[in-house]
Chains A and B, each alone.
Chain A
Amino acid sequence: MKAKRRVIMSSGRPLGASRTPRPPRRRPALATVVPKPKSEPRSSAATSQAEAADAARDVEIDLSVDLGRGLVLPNPILVASGAFGYGVEYGDVVDVDRLGAICCKGTTLKPRIGNPTPRVTETPGGMLNSIGLQNPGVDAVIEKYAGTWAGWNVPVIVNVAGESVSDYVEVTRRLEGVPGIAGIELNISCPNVGKGGLQFAIDAGAAGEVTAAVRRATDLPLLVKLSPNVADIRPIARAIAEAGADALTAINTLSGIAVAPGRGRPLLGNIYGGLSGPAVKPVALRIVYEAAQAVKIPIIAIGGVTELADVLDFLSVGAVAVQVGTAIFADPTLPVRLVDELSAECRRVGVTTHLDLVGSALPNRAGAPSAKGVEYRP
């Protein structure tokens, strides 16, 4: 399989051409060497077929992803913000050091108590949540968790939320230089209180403005999370890329409502919730597909990843990595298993890096976006 389109990294180097040794990572939290898959000892009684299989197994698969600014993910399977807390909650059930990265719970300047309950409910093929960014505030997060994170090999990316540009900038300043923090993911699906509560994520100007402000405030790798609740993602993605983001993550949840069975009233305490899970995957695929044609920075896909086939789908529409969210609740061991399965898949199809699988579904020339009409072709 050959990628139709080359994804250009922030260093200006095409991904497919970067299989030579990668630059050393600079951040202390990331200083440890990425473990390579071990080759298994050969059996003396092996048949020629088994030997061939062994030879295939000996090929080193490089799953690392360079997001720029010294952030190299050991593999492309991340855990999504909100689904994995601060990385400590699953305890011994998950070996966090085998993950590509952890995006922690949304973090704000001040502590937030979050939304009224109920906050979660299952929906067909997915779930709605309206946690309301409950968190103890950035200072408490640093104090409680950064020390633990610094001891891990896995990069921890802090998800940052705010109600004004200055909120985002201030949270970012406090994270800057803290050992154990490998990067920042901006959750811009928050109301901009200064602009009448309009979300940053739905307006290219506001999205670009907040990205640029945070960019000026930090040298940390900067990821910005796209909202799917927009008519056309491309101008927003472009504005964020031009403002200096190192990567995009897509998608945040889709806005939705559930009605309490038999009661005829909204089920969630907050009325609105964010839809996630397998139900949103086609939407996520479409947004990544469109964003990948609009920007040259790497895209990390999120939305209904529950098995290897989903990972491959997102790679083919232009993502270089994926985040697993809702599926963790059902199967906390899934992300680590996906790392092994992706490695095996690369061997099976004969590529040495999953980046060779990126973009195969993208058109040679930019196609019409869904905003131009989905079913109707002029």
Chain B
Amino acid sequence: MTMRLAAAELVESREILPGQWLQAYHAPTIASGSRAGQFVHVRTGDFSGMVLRRPFSVNTADLATGVITIHFRVIGRGTEWFTRLRAGDEIDLLGPLGRPFEVDPRSRHLLLVAGGLGMAGVRMLADEAIRDGRQVTLLFGAASSREVYPSSLLPDEIEYVVATDDGSLGHHGFVTDLVPEYEAWADQAFACGPSAMLAALARQAEGRRGRLGVASLGRKRGGGRGDPAGSPAARRKAFLQVSMEQNMGCAVGACLGCVVMSTSGVPQRVCREGPVFAAEELVWEGAWS
């Protein structure tokens, strides 16, 4: 669906974790057109103070009710402004924006990896995968148990595994420590979180084909090296897809503010070519040096 400007009415707003909010907005055109991985660009009510919109992943979208949710942490004046909205208040959304996750139709087992607020980036993919009859394991990493996303807000059908930096809940360590265990089980992996986490996942994914001896699997269809970088087909064939974050201006590809460096040497726009990229399309270290 093409992007559009839509007025959205706040249905519900609550603080699900300290400083983290989940808000539901009635925006039927956006709910029906959104796919997992896409985002909305939201205008604050105070233009002269805050000149930029704020991008939020579409956390969930309910076709039946026309409600989308966004999940954010209060990190500045913009996010603070959103928490002051009350049910019935209207905001202005631009969306859905960006390219979604692409699941290979043959993939049965999806590994989702989220770090902190990265949950918002992959949350909707869990819904879509379950709807399509796939099995989902969601690995989640946070600093401590106080910041662990409540399992009550996730679909019952998924396996939810938690890691905390301080060991206060689940695995004591990084969420990436858990990944090798699922490497063989997973047909594809989808991740969103801090860039260090994504870079670590990209390194882990790099050697996977060789270790598992599946190097030729993806090449049987489509005649090998064919799909142009950034195409949906290229992402669909990738084992690891990542949802990237970057400071953003326009969110439609006009300002070139939100780029990440690709292996082709041309910066790619997170808002347009992303936010979802195949991990192998991106340069993870020394991109600008």
Whole-angstrom CA separation of A90 from B97 in the bound complex: 11
Q: Which residues of chain B have C-beta atoms less than 8 A from A118's C-beta?
A: 246-247
* Complex interface residues of chain B between 251 and 267 (CB less than 8 A to chain A): 251-261, 265-267
Q: Which residues of chain B have C-beta atoms less than 8 A from A93's C-beta?
A: 3-5, 94, 252
Contact of A113 among B51, B52, B92, B265 (CB under 8 A): B265
Q: Count chain B CB atoms within 10 A of each CB in A86, A306, A331 and give the residue with the most.
A: A331
Q: Is residue B49 contacting chain A, with contact meaning CB distance below 8 A?
A: yes
Q: Which one of A123-131, A241-249, A367-375 is at the B interface? A: A123-131
Q: Is residue B216 contacting chain A, with contact meaning CB distance below 8 A?
A: no
Whole-angstrom CA separation of A90 from B41 in the bound complex: 13
Contact of A89 among B51, B252, B261, B288 (CB under 8 A): B252
Q: Which residues of chain A have C-beta atoms less than 8 A from B49's C-beta?
A: 124-125
Q: Is residue B48 contacting chain A, with contact meaning CB distance below 8 A?
A: yes
Whole-angstrom CA separation of A331 from B46 in the bound complex: 12
Whole-angstrom CA separation of A178 from B154 in the bound complex: 56
Q: With both chains docked as a complex, state the minimum distance between the C-beta of B41 and any C-beta of chain A, in angstroms.
A: 9
Annotate A106-125 by CB proximity to B: 1 below 8 A, 0 otherwise: 00000101111111111011
Q: With both chains docked as a complex, state the minimum distance between the C-beta of B272 and any C-beta of chain A, in angstroms.
A: 8
* Complex interface residues of chain B between 1 and 59 (CB less than 8 A to chain A): 2-5, 43, 47-53
Q: Is residue B249 contacting chain A, with contact meaning CB distance below 8 A?
A: yes
Contact B254 A114 (CB under 8 A): no
Instruction: Name which residue of chain B comes closest to A113, CB basis.
Output: B267
Given A89-B253, A93-B5, A117-B247, are A329 and B258 also a contact pair (CB < 8 Å)?
no
Q: How large, as a class, is the contact surface on chain A?
A: 35 or more
Contact of B47 among A105, A116, A306 (CB under 8 A): A306
Q: With both chains docked as a complex, state the minimum distance between the C-beta of A116 and any C-beta of chain B, in angstroms.
A: 4
Q: Is residue B250 contacting chain A, with contact meaning CB distance below 8 A?
A: yes
Q: Which residues of chain B have C-beta atoms less than 8 A from A332's C-beta?
A: 5, 94, 252
Contact A114 B267 (CB under 8 A): yes
Contact A131 B256 (CB under 8 A): yes
Q: Is residue B248 contacting chain A, with contact meaning CB distance below 8 A?
A: yes
Q: With both chains docked as a complex, state the minimum distance between the C-beta of B198 and any C-beta of chain A, in angstroms.
A: 14
Q: With both chains docked as a complex, state the minimum distance between the C-beta of B261 and any C-beta of chain A, in angstroms.
A: 8
Q: Count chain B CB atoms within 10 A of each CB in A84, A91, A117, A326 and give the residue with the most.
A: A117
Contact of A278 among B48, B76, B260, B265 (CB under 8 A): B48
Whole-angstrom CA separation of A169 from B43 in the bound complex: 41
Q: Which residues of chain A have C-beta atoms less than 8 A from B51's C-beta?
A: 122, 125-127, 277-278, 326-327, 329-330
Whole-angstrom CA separation of A261 from B252 in the bound complex: 27
Contact A119 B256 (CB under 8 A): yes
Q: Is residue A82 contacting chain B, with contact meaning CB distance below 8 A?
A: yes
Whole-angstrom CA separation of A47 from B92 in the bound complex: 38
Q: Count chain A CB atoms within 10 A of each CB in B2, B47, B255, B259 and give the residue with the most.
A: B255
Whole-angstrom CA separation of A86 from B255 in the bound complex: 10
Whole-angstrom CA separation of A92 from B6 in the bound complex: 13
Given A113-B266, A120-B249, are A131 and B48 also a contact pair (CB < 8 Å)?
no
Instruction: Name which residue of chain B comes closest to A136, CB basis.
Output: B266
Whole-angstrom CA separation of A300 from B97 in the bound complex: 33
Instruction: Name which residue of chain B comes closest to A93, CB basis.
Output: B5
Whole-angstrom CA separation of A127 from B248 in the bound complex: 11
Given A119-B256, A278-B48, are A83 and B250 also a contact pair (CB < 8 Å)?
yes
Annotate B68-82 by CB proximity to A: 1 below 8 A, 0 otherwise: 000000001010000
Given A85-B255, A93-B94, A126-B51, are A134 and B249 also a contact pair (CB < 8 Å)?
no
Q: Which residues of chain A have C-beta atoms less than 8 A from B267's C-beta?
A: 113-114, 134
Contact A120 B255 (CB under 8 A): yes
Whole-angstrom CA separation of A116 from B247 in the bound complex: 12
Q: Is residue A269 contacting chain B, with contact meaning CB distance below 8 A?
A: yes
Q: Is residue A351 contacting chain B, with contact meaning CB distance below 8 A?
A: no
Given A83-B250, A93-B94, A329-B250, are A129 and B288 also a contact pair (CB < 8 Å)?
no
**Would you list 18 pairs from A and B whose C-beta atoms are within 8 A, ordered by A residue?**
A84-B254, A85-B254, A89-B253, A92-B4, A114-B259, A116-B287, A117-B258, A117-B259, A120-B255, A120-B257, A127-B51, A127-B249, A129-B257, A131-B257, A134-B256, A277-B51, A328-B254, A333-B5
- Report which A residues bind B (CB closer than 8 A): 82-86, 89-93, 105, 111, 113-122, 124-127, 129, 131, 134, 261, 269, 277-278, 306, 326-333
Closest 9 CB pairs of A and B: A85-B254, A120-B257, A116-B288, A89-B254, A118-B247, A277-B51, A89-B253, A89-B252, A120-B249
